[in-house]
Amino acid sequence: MNVTARSDSVPSGTLRFLLTVFLCSAALAAAWADQSAATAQTEDYYEYFYSVSPHTYDSDSDGYDDSVTLEMDVDTTGGYVGVAVDAYLEDAYGYVSDSDFAVWTIYGEEAETVYIDLVLTSGSPGYYNLYLDLYDDTGYWEDDWSGSVYLYPIGHGTTSGPSATQAPFPTRTPSPTFVFDGNGGLSDGAVAGIVAGSLLIVLPGLFWTSRRMRRDMEAKAAEKEKTPDDRIAKFRAKMERWREEGYDVSELEDLFR
């Protein structure tokens, strides 16, 4: 008698189906929770600049302020939030002269001070614009701030000449100053100086030119003596061949004597 055993186990295909449904449900739940957190952050919380104070200073000690420190405090309507601030220093034409950033964590409206330094490395003295952009930890833009400060380029005091209390002015290349005598002409000392300077400039040039011309002439004469006339040499060879053949070439030889 054949006896067939009955199995109460669940088919493997059903297990795979149930496992797939469970994993998909878990992934959807995690995605929904993450999206809910992001939505809560962007809709419920608001980050903003509570205060921003720019302070100019002289970084190279030349008497002119070439840098600015931005002292800022950022608050939020939520709890702990990571924030980032981008800072830009731009000239009157919109070109960025310097930039920097800061990243830190804030909590509610508690006071915390963060500093960003910007330096004017080149350009002209004048008013420069300051721009700040605030982002939260999810990358959303939250707030901005702008202002302006008067700055000098770094090293301005060592190149322009005036002291820190003087207004900047364009410098000019000094022109030669001549000293005139009482009769409206050049003084004897000025004339002597001009003549001496002219001689110092002209005489070395003349001496160098004459020496070069003499060297060129000597080189040409030596080359002419060293190199015989090819036509005369060929004609003498022909005369020698004619003599060997029995011809009288004495009259031709007299022409070359």
Which residues lie closer than 8 Å to 91 by C-beta, 6 or more apart? 97, 123, 126, 128, 129
Q: Residue 157 CB: number of other CB atoms within 10 A?
A: 19
Rounded percentage of the chain residues whose pLDDT exceeds 90: 42
Taking only Cα atoms into account, the Rg of the chain, rounded to an integer number of angstroms, comes to 48
CATH architecture of the region 47-160: Sandwich (2.60)
pLDDT score of 121 more than 90: yes
Place of tokens 């000449």: 161
Mean pLDDT for 158-166 is: 50
pLDDT at 177: 40
User: Can you give the pTM of this predicted structure?
Assistant: 0.47
pLDDT at 245: 80
Q: Which range among 20-24, 59-63, 102-106, 218-222 shows the weakest confidence by mean pLDDT?
A: 20-24
pLDDT at 117: 97
Question: Are 119 and 98 contacting, i.e. CB atoms less than 8 angstroms apart?
Answer: yes
Q: Which residue would you say has higher pLDDT here, 85 or 14?
A: 85
pLDDT at 176: 41
Question: Are 67 and 118 contacting, i.e. CB atoms less than 8 angstroms apart?
Answer: yes
Q: Which range among 28-32, 174-178, 187-191, 215-219 shows the weakest confidence by mean pLDDT?
A: 174-178
Can you list the positions of beta strands (E) in 91-125? Answer: 96-107, 114-119
Q: Residue 87 CB: number of other CB atoms within 10 A?
A: 21
Cα gap 237→235, rounded to integer Å: 5
Measured over the CA atoms of residue 189, residue 190, residue 195 and residue 200, the dihedral's sign is: positive
Return the exposure string of 101-126: e unless at least 16 CB atoms fall within 10 Å of the residue's CB, then b.
Answer: ebeeebeeeeeeeeebebbbeebebe
AA identity, residue 255: L
pLDDT score of 182 more than 50: no
* Local confidence band at 7 (pLDDT 50, 70, 90 cut-offs): very low
pLDDT score of 129 more than 60: yes
Closest CA to 56 of 130, 114, 112, 123: 130
* Local confidence band at 204 (pLDDT 50, 70, 90 cut-offs): low
* Local confidence band at 158 (pLDDT 50, 70, 90 cut-offs): confident
* Local confidence band at 241 (pLDDT 50, 70, 90 cut-offs): confident
Give DSSP secondary structure letters for 73-97: EEEESSSEEEEEEEEEEE-TTS-EE
φ/ψ of residue 227, rounded to 5: -105, 110
pLDDT at 174: 40
Cα gap 193→175, rounded to integer Å: 17
pLDDT in tens, 37-86: 444 444 568 999 999 999 999 999 999 999 999 999 999 999 999 999 99
CA angle 67, 70, 71 (to 5 degrees): 135
Q: What is the mean pLDDT of the chain?
A: 75
Q: Which residue would you say has higher pLDDT here, 204 or 167?
A: 204
CA angle 237, 241, 247 (to 5 degrees): 125
Closest CA to 108 of 46, 53, 52: 46
φ/ψ of residue 28, rounded to 5: -65, -40
